[in-house]
Amino acid sequence: MNINLDVQDISTRPAEKCVTKLKAENINLYYGTFQALRNVTLDIPSCSITAIIGPSGCGKSSMLRLFNRMNDLIPGARVEGNIELDGIPIYNSKIDVVELRKRVGMVFQKPNPFPMSVFENVAFGPKRHGIKNRGELEQIVEKSLRQAALWDEVKDKLGQSGLALSGGQQQRLCIARVLAVEPEVILMDEPCSALDPVATLKIEDLMRSLAADYTIIIVTHNMQQAARVSDTAAFMMMEPDRAGVLVEYGPTAQLFTNPKDKRTEDYITGRFG
Amino acid sequence: METRTAFHKKLREIQDDILALGSMVSKATSRSIEALKKRDLELAQHVVADDKKVNQKRYEIEEKCVELIATQQPMASDLRIIVAVLSIITDMERIGDHAEGIAKIAIMIGDEPPLKPLIDIPRMAEQTIDMLRRSLDAFINHDAEAARKISAEDDTIDQLYDQVFRELLTFMAEDPKTITRATRLIWVAHNLERSADRVTNICERVVFVVTGKMEEIGASKY
């Protein structure tokens, strides 16, 4: 399904800041013989939050993982179509996937700090990318933890294990870890589903503050969360052969008050799904 | 497959409540005119007293809506229905107030000799009540086209109001002793004209429920 939307029309950001950051064109994704996504086309605007919603199994996470080629890790996964980051096709043998994943970071459903100190968790990425200077690393760690709204809570226990933090803190630590390598896009796959409501609202608040500088795509089961946090929203669903399709894509306020497609309406009002 | 059965049942109940409130204010309007025509002061007192029930019903519906918003986070057409209900009940409560106003005028007039037989005023009332009934049908049936048509009928009410006004003005010009009585009847006609305007507001909400767009569909002359 082709849904052509001008990112200028759907973004709430100033026009000069809003460009197409990611572009997916006629995407078909297969896991072996099973088709997981069919003919998906959408443009993701920069410096905003795009939410992908839809029933379980509709291909939301598969869609998300296309943007930093995480699906490459799944045996038998095959992608047809074109995905571009800043106009450069990313499914191209010349693309350095490690560099791509640095630019397009990811936060997962379950907080997954490394079994090491808070400091080392955040410094891990920059170190891997060649930064050795302690002072520089300290600066990066502090900046990233501040951006992730975690600094004040952990500044006195940077040497403690990341696993000793609360669930919400662990998730913000994982976000800080992503921010430390200075990505441009952050993919979030159900980032709050393992968190309590207060921790959830903190992450949402953090997402809003990050949206000024980063392009964020979030997959969520929680429609209220998508409504609260995103600027644009995409609704996906499964066709009878279980392939995921994009049904509707547009400004969040419109999708949740006056969806254009009957299937979106039925899903968000709980008449199916 | 319906997955939010309890929520949608409550939403349907609210829509039934809207019809009940509609019936209460229609009845109040027709009874106020009847009291005026028949100089039935007791009936007029009843209309005044019953307005409290109208207000109560309105608050009851409002509370149900607030509860559904808080507990169910309605979306899309469900959200639009609730937003529309909140607006429609305000309009209906005001129609109730206009009926109460007419009843109070009837009490004020008391047993003064009639200025003239009432013809256009009851006609205005009948048509307003009919428009109200059909606008609520349009709301329940999500019929934007019907709502637009009903809204356009407000012009007839405005014309009747003009007619009543001109006629009573003639009475007053010919005989200043009639001024008090004629003015009171103008108030009655004005109340009805306002009620019909409220019906056009309801029609606008019906259009909103269907299309998701807030638009003014029938700007009244007054």
Q: Chain B within 8 Å of A261 (Cβ-Cβ)?
A: no
Rounded to a whole number, what is the distance in Å from the CA of B16 to chain A's nearest CA?
Answer: 20
In this structure, the dihedral spanned by the alpha carbons of residues A207, A213, A218 and A222, taken in order and rounded to 10 degrees, is 30
* Residue A183 identity (one-letter amino acid): P
pLDDT band at A16, cuts 50/70/90? low
Q: What is the pLDDT of residue A2?
A: 46
* Per-residue pLDDT at A215 exceeds 60: yes
Residues 6 or more apart in contact with residue B110 via CB below 8 angstroms: B39, B41
Which of B3, B78, B212 lies nearest to residue A272, judging by beta carbons?
A: B3
pLDDT band at A11, cuts 50/70/90? low
CB contact under 8 A, B76 and A259: yes
A181 vs A18, A128, A130, A231, B93, CA distance in Å? 23, 9, 11, 25, 60
Contacts of B80 in chain A (CB under 8 A): 257-258
Rounded to a whole number, what is the distance in Å from the CA of A226 to chain B's nearest CA?
Answer: 12
Q: Chain A within 8 Å of B146 (Cβ-Cβ)?
A: no
Beta bridge partners of A215: A185
Tens of pLDDT, residues B5-21: 889 999 999 999 999 99
Q: Quote ipTM for the complex.
A: 0.72
Q: Mean pLDDT for chain B?
A: 95
Do A212 and A191 form a contact (C-beta atoms < 8 A)? no
Q: Chain A within 8 Å of B212 (Cβ-Cβ)?
A: yes
Domains and CATH numbers, chain B: 5-211 (1.20.58.220)
Tens of pLDDT, residues A147-202: 999 999 999 999 999 999 999 999 999 999 999 999 999 999 999 988 888 889 98
CA dist B100 and B102 (Å) reads: 5
Domain boundaries, chain A: 7-112+184-268
Tens of pLDDT, residues A24-57: 999 999 999 999 999 999 999 998 999 999 999 9
Q: What is the pLDDT of residue A83?
A: 97
Contacts of A223 in chain B (CB under 8 A): 73, 75
Q: Which residue of A has its CA nearest to B76?
A: A257
Contacts of A227 in chain B (CB under 8 A): 75
CA dist B24 and B18 (Å) reads: 10
Rounded to a whole number, what is the distance in Å from the CA of A266 to chain B's nearest CA?
Answer: 9
| SS3 labels along B74-113 | CCHHHHHHHHHHHHHHHHHHHHHHHHHHHHHHHHHHCCCC
CA dist A69 and B48 (Å) reads: 72
Q: A256: closest CA among A238, A229, A218, A237?
A: A229
CB contact under 8 A, B3 and A223: no
**Taking residues A16-28, what's their average pLDDT?**
89
Q: Which CATH class is domain A7-112+184-268?
A: alpha beta
Q: What is the pLDDT of residue A12?
A: 54
Which ranges in chain B belong to alpha helices (H)? 5-38, 41-72, 76-109, 120-141, 144-152, 154-174, 179-211
Rounded to a whole number, what is the distance in Å from the CA of A52 to chain B's nearest CA?
Answer: 16
Tens of pLDDT, residues B80-117: 999 999 999 999 999 999 999 999 999 999 988 889 89
Q: Chain B within 8 Å of A32 (Cβ-Cβ)?
A: no
Tens of pLDDT, residues A122-146: 999 999 989 999 999 999 999 999 9
